[in-house]
Structure 1
Amino acid sequence: MLTWTTLLATAVACGQERPVAQDGIAPSAQEHASTPSPAPEEGSKAPADTAEHSDEPRESDIGPDHSLFEGKVTLADGRRVAMHYRRGEGLFEQHQIPNAGGWTKPRLIYRTRTPACQGIELQASDGTVTAIADFGLYCADGEPPTESIAAVGMGDLRRWDHHLTKDFDGWERVTVTDHGRKATFVNRSLKGHTTLVWTLTGGFSDPVDKHAD
């Protein structure tokens, strides 16, 4: 029998934070969140990682060449991070700590049923890992993405922040500064450029457009 306490706890657990509008960016085109495993519930805490004790991370289920839908990077301290797409599910992350017994279980960073684009760009700098990933119908065949993800992991890599921009050409590169406490994602075009900033204390801000003179 449901009690008022149970109903209240359920309502709080299901709450989600609405994206904030930015001049020049449509409100529906933005989402930024911290995404713990196993599901990307806004505001929830990440559980402890559980190693799978496998020698290699899980492969993407998109083929025939699944390596086109995966990415790996090694940090300066020897830790490794891997990401892969799952068909109809989204973007997943795993990481490995040297001498710790294998890779962590796949963690869902961003959930979507939209087909994935080829390539996941992973970069590590000063203990902070950044990722660029895109989704879109026929995107793997060269069509532009409709869902562009910027993601940042830090510390023990149990916490990942991600930002979604819709109907966007995707982020081209990212620069990590301030000893790993700041990451700036950039997209440049003939019309100008768009930047997206993440900081350790504030998370993701809203994208900022600057038009060419």
Structure 2
Amino acid sequence: MLVWATLLATAAACGLERPAPRAISASPAQERTPTPGPALESPRAPADTPGRSDEPRGSDMGPGHGSFEETVTLADGRRVAMHYKRGQGLFEQHHIPHAGGWTRPRLIYRTKTDPCQGIKLQADSGTVTAIADFGLYCADGEPPTESVAAVGVGDLREWDHHLTRNFDGWERVTFTGGGRATFVNRSLKWHTTLVWTPSGGFSDPVNKRVG
């Protein structure tokens, strides 16, 4: 004991200290950003919450923007509107009578490609279809490079869309029983169809040679 006490005293006199413990830093995978509590989160209304506007949101494509908007009225009095937003894509809104205005814009198809002029909306028995095209300089007459077919049913909270690239675009939609919608394009050589059903959604496009 005397020897041990002597060694401790000698160490203290020489200024020796016990090493401090090393701090262990978390790896990047272990680091977490604190999540704000409910009181710190800013409330965001869902897209289908009616707004205060008596008219749907318009396109921001500048002069002649009417060519980049479209509205259709359903048999039950509801209205559906779509518009292009520059550098963002295709947006949808719908209006329910006596519900307090149009819903907030909902993004249906996201793209930074320039939109083509015209949006085709059709409605039949609660099914709404949309045809929209995009392409560089397409509004000036260049062919589309992105052709979108979209379908909304029921309360219109959910929309299906199908993209076909480097295609001349769908011309019209035909409706048959059971909510089936067929998008059609007919050229001099080919008859192209795209079918949507409530149970299966979109199928693959089908090409048939004309003649």
Structure 1 length-normalised TM:
0.77
1:172 is aligned to 171
CA RMSD, 1 decimal: 1.9
Aligned equivalents of 1:170 and 1:199: distance in 2? 20
Aligned-residue offset at 1:122: 0.4
1:206 is aligned to 204
Letter of the aligned partner of 1:184 in structure 2? T
Aligned equivalents of 2:100 and 2:182: distance in 1? 34
1:112 is aligned to 111
Residues 87-138 of structure 1, C-alpha deviations (whole Å, 9 max, x = no match): 0000000000000000000000000000000000001101100000000011
Aligned-residue offset at 1:3: 8.3
Aligned equivalents of 1:63 and 1:3: distance in 2? 46
Aligned-residue offset at 1:177: 1.3
2:190 is aligned to 192
Structure 2 length-normalised TM:
0.78
- Tell whether 2:48 aligns with 1:53: no
Aligned equivalents of 1:192 and 1:88: distance in 2? 32
- Tell whether 2:139 aligns with 1:140: yes
Aligned-residue offset at 1:66: 1.1
Letter of the aligned partner of 1:85 in structure 2? Y
Aligned equivalents of 2:67 and 2:96: distance in 1? 24
Aligned-residue offset at 1:178: 1.0
CA contact (8 A) 2:47 2:105 kept: no
Structure 1 205/75 Cα, relative in aligned 2: closer, same or farther at 3 Å?
A: same
2:156 is aligned to 157
Aligned equivalents of 2:61 and 2:173: distance in 1? 26
- Same amino acid, percent of matched pairs: 74
Query: Which structure 2 residue ranges, 5 or more long, are not aligned?
Result: 1-25, 33-43
Please tell me whether Structure 1 or Structure 2 has the larger radius of gyration of its CA atoms.
Answer: 2
Aligned-residue offset at 1:170: 0.1
State how many pairs are aligned: 172
Q: Superposition pairs for residues 92-131 of structure 1, below 5 Å?
A: 92-131=91-130
Aligned equivalents of 2:68 and 2:55: distance in 1? 15
Higher relative contact order (CA closer than 8 Å, sequence separation 6+) = 1
Letter of the aligned partner of 1:205 in structure 2? S
Residues 188-209 of structure 1, C-alpha deviations (whole Å, 9 max, x = no match): 0111211000000000000011
Q: Which runs of 4+ in 1 moved over 2 A?
A: 1-4
Aligned equivalents of 2:190 and 2:207: distance in 1? 7
Aligned equivalents of 1:140 and 1:171: distance in 2? 16
1:182 is aligned to 180
CA contact (8 A) 2:52 2:101 kept: yes
SS in 2 for 1:140: helix
Aligned equivalents of 1:3 and 1:137: distance in 2? 41
Aligned equivalents of 1:130 and 1:139: distance in 2? 22
SS in 2 for 1:115: coil
Aligned equivalents of 1:61 and 1:52: distance in 2? 19
Letter of the aligned partner of 1:195 in structure 2? T
Aligned-residue offset at 1:63: 1.7
Aligned-residue offset at 1:48: 6.6
Aligned-residue offset at 1:53: 1.4
Letter of the aligned partner of 1:92 in structure 2? F
